[in-house]
Amino acid sequence: MKASPALILLGVTTAALAEEGMWTPDNFPAERVEESYGVTIDQQWLDRARLSTVRLTGPGGCTGSFVSSLGLILTNRHCVESCLAEHTNETRDVWNDGFYATSPGTELRCSDLQAAYLTDIREVTTLVNAATEGLEEVAANDARRQTFTRLEQECETASQTDARCEIVSLYQGGQYFLYETRRYDDVRLVFAPDVDIGKFGGDPDNFSFPRWTLDMAFLRAYQNDEPVSPDAHLTWRRDGPERDEAVFVTGHPGTTQRQLTVAEYQFLRNAVLPSWLIRNAELLGRYREFALRDPESRRMVQEDLERLENGVKFFRNQLAALLDDRLMVAKSMEEKTFREAVASQRELAAGIYAWHQVDRALAALSTFYDEYIMVERRGGFQGELMDQARALIRAATERDKPNEKRLRGYTDSQLPLVEQRVLSTSPIHMPLESLKVTFGLEKLREILGHDHPIVRKTLGNESPESMANRLIANTSLDDPAVRKKLWEGGLKAVERSKDPIIRLMRAVDGDARELLDRYRDEYQAPLREAHQSIARARFAILGTSVYPDATFTFRISYGTVSGWTESGREIDPFTRLEGVYERATGEKPYALSEAWLDARPSLDMSTPVNYVSTLDLTAGNSGSPVIDADGRIVGLAFDGNQYSIAGSFWYDIEKNRAIAVHPAIMIEALERVYKADRLLAEIELSKD
Amino acid sequence: MKASPALILLGVTTAALAEEGMWTPDNFPAERVEESYGVTIDQQWLDRARLSTVRLTGPGGCTGSFVSSLGLILTNRHCVESCLAEHTNETRDVWNDGFYATSPGTELRCSDLQAAYLTDIREVTTLVNAATEGLEEVAANDARRQTFTRLEQECETASQTDARCEIVSLYQGGQYFLYETRRYDDVRLVFAPDVDIGKFGGDPDNFSFPRWTLDMAFLRAYQNDEPVSPDAHLTWRRDGPERDEAVFVTGHPGTTQRQLTVAEYQFLRNAVLPSWLIRNAELLGRYREFALRDPESRRMVQEDLERLENGVKFFRNQLAALLDDRLMVAKSMEEKTFREAVASQRELAAGIYAWHQVDRALAALSTFYDEYIMVERRGGFQGELMDQARALIRAATERDKPNEKRLRGYTDSQLPLVEQRVLSTSPIHMPLESLKVTFGLEKLREILGHDHPIVRKTLGNESPESMANRLIANTSLDDPAVRKKLWEGGLKAVERSKDPIIRLMRAVDGDARELLDRYRDEYQAPLREAHQSIARARFAILGTSVYPDATFTFRISYGTVSGWTESGREIDPFTRLEGVYERATGEKPYALSEAWLDARPSLDMSTPVNYVSTLDLTAGNSGSPVIDADGRIVGLAFDGNQYSIAGSFWYDIEKNRAIAVHPAIMIEALERVYKADRLLAEIELSKD
């Protein structure tokens, strides 16, 4: 049943292999699943899975699933940590101690989180293509963006259920869809375990297996201060899946790049990843040293630190994958075969120009890539205050324009999210901001050079450190009330503001926008055209027997519960509770809280804790429900093994594994450690 | 006169191009120099240059030159900074303020520095090859090492002048030489300018040009408390070189890798450099954050920080060079042509096996590279105390063995250097040590994994941070008297020691030595054989019209004073004093000291400050004299431009430039800013 790696290497531009792929719900390969595993996935299963799965937006970007008729959402602890940080203060440390709302009234509002689920999908490829027909690439790119905004607006206006509408581009622009979602902006924390078990193994065990982590949490979606009633929710199968059983995962995988051209992989390998990694490894060192100052500093930086640790690990493994000649050789062979196929078919042959277009786009981007990253992408202007200032300035400017002419992040559909971010009452930690601002300005000068006009304009005669100190000492942007006033005052208020961070971001906004224009016109426009041509050729040869790259939109994967072989040794797919107590050294990240130490005698040591499967997933699937063929929860995805990271570029069925929390340990913990009776009464267990 | 890049790309395995090469004094291409520039370099010139040039050992590794009959040595400020740090304390800040010894008695002993110059060279290739004849690679590697030690010992015993003898392997083992040097262990600081002008532009301007930095200093070599009388010294030509004039540089370039196989370049690109960079960029972030704690912390970390900034910049540019397909394609073509030439000549054809041997060596190293770096190379056991403990333990163990059987770093010839290092009274800053130890242990766990036996043995149940705290709190190795006692007490004292750092390093010394053995037997032994075969084939085809890769041994390069073209713009080779005052913003690293602000009216603003030339040099050449055809000092090398970094792998005559301090600014500064009359009276100016 499993494909050999040789087949992957040689099976160039073939359809996806068994167990590979993050499928859209309208193109799920149910027949292939039935052939392989003898289980039937029907439309009802697919609809229920889709309607039960929520996308969590906010810092990170995760998945969750409805598990009760009162809007209860199961997700990972690491997906709700911005909320834990928000509610941690001198008197209450929910970050470390965890949280359980014993009554509905004590649930905690998470001001940075929103939840949404997908209610409808409509293809609009013809409309988008009609709007760009015959235009040269820059004009086509502009027309495409305006069409996106117009279609979204029309969709939202027409909706009778206050739906949010979003254009989704799949197959690198081979297809366009309108995705309608129902979104809830009021999301509250119901439960999270303590940090010791919730992040057991911490950064050392991240992307590793065997693993013993209870990375779970519950949220609840509210509307008008009442819990919502979702269209569907999932029940639980406490004993979880069998070994080799077919399982499924729904969620919002973030980004894969399995269909790039070889030139793009080389650009990632040579330019993007090394510079990101070297820059951010330094920032990681700063965060770690900052955390050592005192417990208060550690608390401030914790969340950023962990996100960055995860990012550095992820991208360094991505770089390792791209530096592995096996990958580059396979991709080159695949591309060569594909190009030959394109060139040999008369009606596709013009498509061969696409690869030259990619080369041209990359050559253009190379000439201003550092400036784009440093200025428009704020690599040189780091920190939340800079982000807030940018958002305030741009929102004020864009709101005065017709919807279609605005930057895509500031359309009517997006503005409420910007507003929520700008008005968030999450505390901003100024000592940490100071670190970030200093770091950004240092990188700005280091990477663009002391004599670059934007560096000169930004720093004048100041050093990065003293400028950062001055900005932080004199800004009042950390006050939500100040931001609210600026938001409401619009362009005039922003222009009159004497806040030094607003002034700085205004001074460079023209440069930043110019770089964004160049990015769009010189890089994105030709690249989009090229990808679209390549996608069309791919459809012509393969149809939709392939799946589109991940794009943070709803997908379903299928696979089996299965370990792998590591240096000749079989890795068992399941870990058990006894392993937690064996591994607990007493020192973080291998410590256990008193609750877990006290509960030990009452716990069944053979309870499964985590398990791996061949499910093809990636970042964004954190918090995804693992579902059985009967539509019941049999796991909670929270990570992948180290080989899953190369999954950004290809799927290696021999080694790529998803890691999930087993339902048995979740229920056991709620029952015996946390005594969360209210939750146990609310969720629906359905034992076989 | 200049070779085109196309010629470099196509001129595969040709002899060195004009202006390329770091030549040994016995093989200097004087004829080619005469042809190209019409200047004569005779044996007298070569001998004087060699005898005037000193190698400075200690932290860093630099060059200097005798500039008086009383042992006065000219070098860079950045080469004497360990000495500036050593003598900076609460009452005196010579690091920042600089230093000038107004009388001989006030010169400051630099306990970490030694100076040596090359007195004789003898080829011993035949002797070494005879000792390894017919042995298989591991046995040959052992025999070779023992022969090295024996030859060095015999040479030192035979010497009537107390010479130090060292085996030098050139052309990757194609030739072996005995280099005899005269070494002085008592080196004292005479003069260094203040930090503002001495490091003007700091890290932002490092590896950049145009540049305005007075990176100069004077030392003096002593013997029996008296200044030494060197065999030769250099005079000065105050007005420096003309544009396009032929100039020369003598010194000790550290490492170039221009003659590696393509497989080795790929290993550097894929494994060595990315992991070093990501690890050390994090350490850089920690150092920078540590420096922000308070002025005292900044002072502690300054020297390490600057060395690391330099290293990260250097290796990231090396990585960029290896990720540049132009380089890899050129090297591949060169290798292909060379291999074909080898295969086509009957008497060389067996040499083709060498490339397979390289592949085998690299494949073997890959399987334990991380462990080797973390344990034997102390990536997981960082800091000076760990270094001291390792040295004490190994010296005690090795001293009991016959000289030939010892580790190469602990032979009779090397032990005095180890002793000087162990007994150094330079202060060890414990807060900084704590950072380093924590960082090392974290990397050990991160890179080898929580479950690796050496990690388990090292950390037990402790976290890196708490273990580091315990080690630092309980060690007394920071006390030179304690180290002296351990040194003198030998193996028994070391074994009885309860110092936790000694105990830790003893506990892992077996593992470390095992990794060293594997490194030697599985990697170094086949690689040496392979390189030797390749070198022999290269000699057979090209003779010694090529130069050997840099190996920290004495070399001479030649070139011309010349700018380059940057994005269509001509870079003038000279900068002038007016540029310093224009660029001075008042904030470090673009600040000026009061002495320079006060002296401004008395200074000639057209005085040249720095200049670039096509001289082919690399790290280790810092402090090298730039000499004219008449043997006079016309500059002081201190850096290269950004393109000089790719010089590790190839020489690009279009862009690769060396940067030197101009003699005019050195003399002007001594006369008008520092009023260093004693020095001005001692050095010998010889105006045209």
Phi, psi (5° rounding) for residue B362?
Answer: -70, -40
For all residues of chain A together, what is the average pLDDT?
93
Q: Which of A449 and A511 is assigned the larger pLDDT?
A: A511
- What's the rounded Cα separation, in Å, for the pair B660 and B666? 11
- What's the rounded Cα separation, in Å, for the pair B477 and B463? 22
Residue A2 lies in a domain: no
- Is the pLDDT at A146 greater than 50, yes or no? yes
For the CA atoms of A323, A327, A328, A331, the dihedral, rounded to the nearest 10 degrees, stands at -150
Specify the pLDDT at position A687: 59
Specify the pLDDT at position A157: 92
Residue A162 lies in a domain: yes
Are B526 and B575 contained in the same domain?
Answer: no
Are B536 and B622 contained in the same domain?
Answer: no
Specify the pLDDT at position B15: 42
Confidence of residue A14 (pLDDT cuts 50, 70, 90): very low
Are A148 and A250 contained in the same domain?
Answer: yes
- In chain A the first and final C-alpha atoms are separated, in Å, by 27
- What's the rounded Cα separation, in Å, for the pair A19 and B402? 63
Q: What is the CA radius of gyration of chain B?
A: 25
What count of other Cβ atoms lies within 10 Å of the Cβ of residue B265? 19
- B406-445 in b/e form (b: 16+ CB < 10 A) is bbeebbebbbebbebbbebebebbbebbbbbbbbbbbbbb
Are A512 and A570 contained in the same domain?
Answer: no
Last residue of a domain, one of A542, A565, A592: A542
Residue contact A292–B587, C-beta within 8 A: no
Specify the pLDDT at position B8: 35
Residue B3 lies in a domain: no
- pLDDT tens digits along A442-493: 999 999 998 899 999 999 989 999 999 999 999 999 999 999 999 999 999 9
Using CB atoms, which residue from B445, B461, B585 is nearest to A586? B461
Are B86 and B108 contained in the same domain?
Answer: yes
- In chain B the first and final C-alpha atoms are separated, in Å, by 27
- pLDDT tens digits along A282-312: 999 999 999 999 999 999 999 899 999 999 9
- pLDDT tens digits along B310-342: 999 999 999 999 998 889 999 999 999 999 989
Are A554 and A488 contained in the same domain?
Answer: no
DSSP A519: I
Spell out which residues of chain A touch residue B449, defining contact as CB-CB under 8 Å: 204, 208
Are B564 and B644 a contacting pair, CB within 8 Å? no
- Distances in Å between the Cα of A75 and the Cα atoms of A64, A81, A180, A666 are 5, 11, 22, 12
Residue contact B281–A277, C-beta within 8 A: yes
Specify the pLDDT at position A688: 57
Tally of domains in chain B = 2
ipTM for the complex shown: 0.88
A415 shares contact with chain B (CB less than 8 Å): no
Residue B311 lies in a domain: no
Residue B319 lies in a domain: no
Last residue of a domain, one of A494, A524, A542: A542
- What's the rounded Cα separation, in Å, for the pair A285 and A281? 6
Residue contact A461–B585, C-beta within 8 A: yes
Sign of CA dihedral A362, A364, A370, A374: negative
Closest to A189 (Cα-Cα) out of A80, A65, A33, A299: A80
With a CB-CB cutoff of 8 Å, which residues 428-457 of chain B face chain A?
A: 435, 445-446, 449-450
Residue A5 lies in a domain: no
With a CB-CB cutoff of 8 Å, which residues 617-676 of chain B face chain A?
A: none
Using CB atoms, which residue from B290, B320, B587 is nearest to A289? B290
Burial of B286 (0-12, 13-18, 19+ CB in 10 A): buried
Please give, rounded to a whole number of angstroms, the shortest distance from the CA of B586 to a CA of chain A: 7
- What's the rounded Cα separation, in Å, for the pair B446 and B438? 12
Residue contact A277–B282, C-beta within 8 A: no
Task: Give every residue of chain B whose pLDDT is below 50, as ranges.
Answer: 1-15
- What's the rounded Cα separation, in Å, for the pair B449 and B370? 11
In this prediction, residues A393-419 reach a mean pLDDT of 93
Are B516 and B553 contained in the same domain?
Answer: no
Q: Which residue of A has its CA nearest to B461?
A: A585
Please give, rounded to a whole number of angstroms, the shortest distance from the CA of B592 to a CA of chain A: 13
Are B338 and B213 contained in the same domain?
Answer: no
- Provide the token pair at A640: 């992948």
Using CB atoms, which residue from A278, A461, A466 is nearest to B281? A278
Are A187 and A232 contained in the same domain?
Answer: yes
Residue B492 lies in a domain: yes
Cβ-Cβ contacts under 8 Å between A and B: the total is 107
In this prediction, residues A238-261 reach a mean pLDDT of 96
Last residue of a domain, one of A478, A510, A542: A542
- Is the pLDDT at A357 greater than 70, yes or no? yes
Question: Three-class SS string for A260-301?
Answer: CCHHHHHHHHHHHHHHHHHHHHHHHHHHHHHHCCCHHHHHHH
Burial of A668 (0-12, 13-18, 19+ CB in 10 A): buried
Are B169 and B218 contained in the same domain?
Answer: yes
Provide, rounded to the nearest whole percent, the portion of chain A with pLDDT above 90. 85
Residue contact A277–B279, C-beta within 8 A: no
- What's the rounded Cα separation, in Å, for the pair A288 and B574? 43
Question: Three-class SS string for A326-381?
Answer: HHHHHHHHHHHHHHHHHHHCCCCHHHHHHHHHHHHHHHHHHHHHHHHHHHHCCCCC
Which residues is B564 bridged to in the sheet? B571
Are B233 and B361 contained in the same domain?
Answer: no
- Provide the token pair at B435: 């950072």
Are B639 and B619 a contacting pair, CB within 8 Å? no
B412 shares contact with chain A (CB less than 8 Å): no
- Provide the token pair at B672: 């008008």
A204 shares contact with chain B (CB less than 8 Å): yes
Are A517 and A554 contained in the same domain?
Answer: no
Confidence of residue A19 (pLDDT cuts 50, 70, 90): confident
User: Domain holding B626: CATH number?
Assistant: 2.40.10.120
- pLDDT tens digits along A74-121: 999 999 999 999 999 889 999 999 999 999 999 999 998 999 999 999
Residue B309 lies in a domain: no
Residues spanned by the domain of A358: 324-542
pTM of the model: 0.90
Residue contact A281–B279, C-beta within 8 A: yes
Specify the pLDDT at position A17: 59
